[in-house]
Structure formats: structure tokens, C-alpha cells
Amino acid sequence: MEIQTLVLCATLLCALQAIRAPRLLISALWLAGCSALLALSIALLGAPEVGVVELSVGAGLVTVIFVFAISVAGEETVGTTSIVPRPLAWVLLALFLFLLILLTLPGFLLPAVPREALPFLRALWDARSLDTVLQVAMIFSGVLGSLGLLAERKESGRGSGGARQGASS
Amino acid sequence: MSGGVWTIVMVAVFGLVAIGIYGLLIVRNLIKIVVALQVFAKGTILIMVAAGGMSGRPAVGQSLAITVIVADTVVTVMALALAIQVRRWCGTLDTRVISKLRR
């Protein structure tokens, strides 16, 4: 329990630093640390398969994509003045947390039911096969969508030919 | 798993979600907004695993957590691609400047 508490505290610290860090690259690295610690915490909760997926996808793939995006877009220092005034942000946050606790507390106070004997792999591949198919479709659409968004506009042949002709003369 | 562990996990979930929401409200950089969204999604993943464990159906909670991880990654990739395009066309990642653009 002590290890779990320490890991979760470190996760929260990393998440806070990811939001507070002034540079984007540092922020992405703090987020990777948050993902890795969360993966450890999930594994300690008895779900090592989810922990491995979170570690490889959340801490690995997403960090690589963040670093790529930052290197393409470039570091840009944006001012700290927020669009939403800070007092209003705190009020909205308190309201959100109040509603979240109100919704989750009744389920949290329910008595524990006996554990289900359904193994994880059967639940993932057999009982939730539609979810798995939709995930594959989502991955393909995400890859194709991002490729479409990142594609450069093709130069027209006439314009580039003219430019080349002008340069040679 | 004892009730004390679940209490700590729930406190961590509320913390992650609160940090994510606060970041979404106050941050102006488009890439930083995606970071805040990621932090919010981490809280969601943790609560899926915790809810499965607390309700006695850990396999369902874990498979839903994997679905959330995949969906969150796809959303992140698309959002970062959009941020790159915004930077390419508008020259900035600042949401305040982008929201003032007029055609």
C-alpha cells in the first residue's frame, strides 16, 4: 500500500509539472514520466496487461509523436494569461469536482461483490470483440487522417516549371 | 485488495482529472492543451481499472481501459496533426491569436 501511495503521488507530481513546465519538450517528458508511473500503478493494482499497453503506447508512442510534433511546429513561448480568468477557472474546477464526487461516491460505497471468474483475455477477445474491431478501425482512420493532415500541398507542374525556367535564364 | 487502496486510487483519479481540467481551462498553447487532455485521460484509464476491481469484474474494466488508451492515442495524434497545420497556416499556436483571426 505504501508503494502504491508513493507511485500515485509521483504520478500526480509529474502531471502537475507537465502542465506547469514552460517549455513544450520538458512538458512532454513530464507527461511520459506520468504515463510510466501510471503504468506501474496499474500493474500494482493487478492489471499487468493494461500496464504494459499503457507503458508502450502512453509512455512510448505518444511521447515520440509529441516530440515529432514539437520539432515540426517549433517551440513557441505563449504568455501565461489565460483566456478564462483564473478565479472563474477555480470555480469551474470546484464545480466539476463536486459533480464528479457526487456521481462516483454512491458506486464507491456499494458493498463489494464476489470476483468474476472471466479471464482478461477472454473478456477482451471474445466478450468484447466488437470493441476490438472498432479499435482497429479507429487506429486505421487515425493513421490515415493524420497522414492526410500532415501531407504537403503538391506544387503544380506549370508553376514550378516556370520558376525553374526563370532561374535558368 | 483492501478498501484503503481503492480510496487512495480514487483520490489520485480526482487529482489527475482536476489537473487535466485546470490545464484545459488556463493553457493557451495548442500542444499544451493536448498534454492537458492526456492528463485527463490518464485519470479516466485509472478509474476504469479501479471500477472493474471494485465491482468484482476486473476483466471488463481492464478491456475498457485498453479501449480508452487506444481511443486517446488516436485523438492525440489527430489533435497534434491539427496543431501542426494551425502553426503552418496561422504561424502561431496561441489560441488567443487564433480566435481573433478574421477572414
- Give A70's contacts in chain B (Cβ within 8 Å): 31
Number of residue pairs across A and B with CB atoms under 8 Å?
A: 241
Report the b/e string of B24-36 with b at 16+ CB within 10 A: bbbbbbbbbbbbb
A118 by DSSP, 3-state: which?
A: coil
In this prediction, residue B103 carries a pLDDT of 53
Nearest C-alpha neighbor of B73 from the set B49, B95, B45, B97: B45
In this prediction, residue B56 carries a pLDDT of 80
Per-residue pLDDT tens digits for B24-62: 998 888 999 999 999 999 999 999 999 888 888 788 888
Please, what are the domains in chain B?
3-99 (1.10.287.3510)
Report how far residue B82's alpha carbon sits from residue A114's, in angstroms, rounded to the nearest whole number: 46
CA distance A166 to chain B (A): 27
- What would the DSSP string read from start to end of B19-67? HHHHHHHH--BHHHHHHHHHHHHHHHHHHHHHHHHHHT-HHHHHHHHHH
Task: Please answer whether residues B73 and A57 qualify as being in contact, where contact means their C-beta atoms are separated by less than 8 angstroms.
Answer: yes
Most B CBs within 10 A among A146, A152, A153, hence the mutation to make, goes to: A146
Task: Please answer whether residues A132 and A125 qualify as being in contact, where contact means their C-beta atoms are separated by less than 8 angstroms.
Answer: yes
Does A113 reside within a domain?
no
Report how far residue B42's alpha carbon sits from residue B45's, in angstroms, rounded to the nearest whole number: 5
CB contact under 8 A, A18 and B35: yes
Identify the domain containing residue A15 by its residue range. Answer: 1-75
Does A32 reside within a domain?
yes
Does A125 reside within a domain?
no
End-to-end CA distance of chain B: 58
Note the pTM of the prediction, 2 decimals. 0.83
Most B CBs within 10 A among A6, A25, A78, A100, hence the mutation to make, goes to: A78
Counted domains in chain A: 1
- Give B27's contacts in chain A (Cβ within 8 Å): 19, 82
Does A153 reside within a domain?
no
pLDDT tens-digit profile, chain A (169 residues): 788 899 999 999 999 999 988 889 999 999 999 999 999 999 999 889 899 999 999 899 999 999 988 988 887 777 667 778 888 889 998 998 888 888 887 776 666 666 666 777 777 777 777 777 888 888 888 888 878 777 776 665 554 444 444 444 3
Most B CBs within 10 A among A6, A12, A130, hence the mutation to make, goes to: A12
Neighbours of A69 (CB within 10 A): 23
B75 by DSSP, 3-state: which?
A: helix
